[in-house]
Amino acid sequence: MKDIMTAPFLTEVRKLLQNMYRLGWDERNGGNLSYILKEEELTPYLDVTKVIRNNPTNFDAKPLAGRYFIVTGTGKYFKNVYDDPENNLGIMRVSADGQSVELLWGYADGGRPTSELPAHFRSHISRLSVDPEHRVVLHTHCTNVIAMTFVHPLDARSFTRTLWQMCTECMVVFPDGVGVLPWMLCGNDEIGVATAEKMKEFRLCVWGMHGIFGTGKSLDEAFGLVETVEKAAEIYVKIMNKPILQTITDEQLWILADAFGVTPREGFLEPRK
Ligand code: 2HA
Ligand code: ZN
The model carries a pTM of 0.98
Nearest by Cα to 16 from 258, 205, 216, 270? 216
pLDDT in tens, 138-186: 999 999 999 999 999 999 999 999 999 999 999 999 999 999 999 999 9
The pair phi, psi for residue 153, each rounded to 5°, is -55, 145
Q: What whole-number distance in Å separates Cα of residue 64 and Cα of residue 50? A: 19
According to the model, what pLDDT value does residue 273 have?
Answer: 82
In the predicted model, what is the mean pLDDT of residues 186-213?
A: 98
26 lines ligand 1 (CB under 6 A): no
According to the model, what pLDDT value does residue 36 have?
Answer: 99
Q: Is 234 a catalytic residue?
A: no
Mutate to test the pocket of ligand 1, among 116, 138, 210, 212 (most ligand atoms within 8 A of CB): 116
